Amino acid sequence: MSVTAIVLTLNEEQHIADCLASLAWADRRVVFDSFSTDGTVALARQAGAEVLQHPFENFAAQRNAALDRVEAEWVFFVDADERATPALAEEIRRVTSGDRAEVAWWVPRHNYIFGRLTLGAGWYPDYQMRLVRRDRARWERPVHEVAVVDGPEGYLRHPLIHYNYTDLEDFIARQRRYTAYDVEILRRQGVRPRFYTPYTQAVRHFWWRFVTLRGLRDGLHGLRLSLLMAYYEMVKYRSLRR
């Protein structure tokens, strides 16, 4: 079976060359671009990748549009700030050959946050549905998209390398976007928080991140991240209440 790696991009010139280099083992590499205004497209073509462009609506719609436009047996979705290791490539080759029943595979990730590998607070194994039979999967939800698969699923062992939030400024900017999406989803679901909900949710979220999901294993780094995520949980419910 052939494997096509698809990289979704928007102004990713700082990442795209290294990302594509880590996918050199794939039978085909496609950069599915949202009309970048930097050097992403030129660098992708220079690296030998095929470039297709499609206007961005939301993350789920973009993945579905890529599935519709790219003829392939297996599709491996990768973000530009991720890298596939040789061990992961070998594992993908193994599970996509032969007559296995699985039509989709969850891939774990090693998240580097503020330059540090983060194994607690919910950032590992951080499974993502990325390897799918093209005709057996669709995505739903505009952000933190969810895959709907027609058939058995499996879990890979080797992780993608994910260079996540680079610094605090990057973290804050993205959390604001994610919070806005989440508020809209909760609003549509009819969730109506009470005056105390933002504060109780913040406490619960901190405990969940730092204790239940073992953010404490990352020391002060894990404490910082757990506090930041708890703060944005409070912001989310404050915004929803307003």
Q: How far is CA 215 from CA 4, 119, 126, 223, in A?
A: 35, 8, 13, 6
d(CA 38, CA 230) in angstroms, rounded, equals 34
Q: pLDDT in tens for each of the 242 residues of the chain?
A: 799 999 999 999 999 999 999 999 999 999 999 999 999 999 999 999 999 999 999 889 999 999 999 999 999 999 999 999 999 999 999 999 988 999 999 999 999 999 999 999 999 999 999 999 999 999 988 777 889 999 999 999 999 999 999 999 999 999 999 999 899 889 999 999 999 999 999 999 999 999 999 999 999 999 999 999 999 999 999 999 98
- 41 contact partners, CB below 8 Å, separation of at least 6: 31, 33, 51, 53
Tokens read off for 33: 């671009």
Distances (CA, A) of 176 to 166, 169, 173, 215, 233: 16, 11, 5, 22, 11
- Do 41 and 10 contact (CB within 8 A), yes or no? no
Domain spans in the chain, listed from the N-terminal domain onward: 3-163, 168-241
CA distance 108 to 156: 7
- Assigned fold of 3-163: Spore Coat Polysaccharide Biosynthesis Protein SpsA; Chain A (3.90.550)
Supply angle C-alpha 102, 104, 109, rounded to 5. Answer: 125
Would you say how long the chain is, in residues? 242
CB neighbours (10 Å) of residue 24? 12
Note if the bond before 125 is cis, omega within 30 degrees.
Answer: yes
Residues 166-217 have pLDDT tens digits of 999 999 999 999 999 899 889 999 999 999 999 999 999 999 999 999 999 9
Q: What is the pLDDT of residue 1?
A: 78
Q: What is the pLDDT of residue 141?
A: 80
What is the predicted pLDDT for the residue at 99?
Answer: 85
Output DSSP code: residue 48.
Answer: T
Indicate whether this model's pTM tops 0.75: yes
* Distance between CA atoms of residues 142 and 223, nearest Å: 29
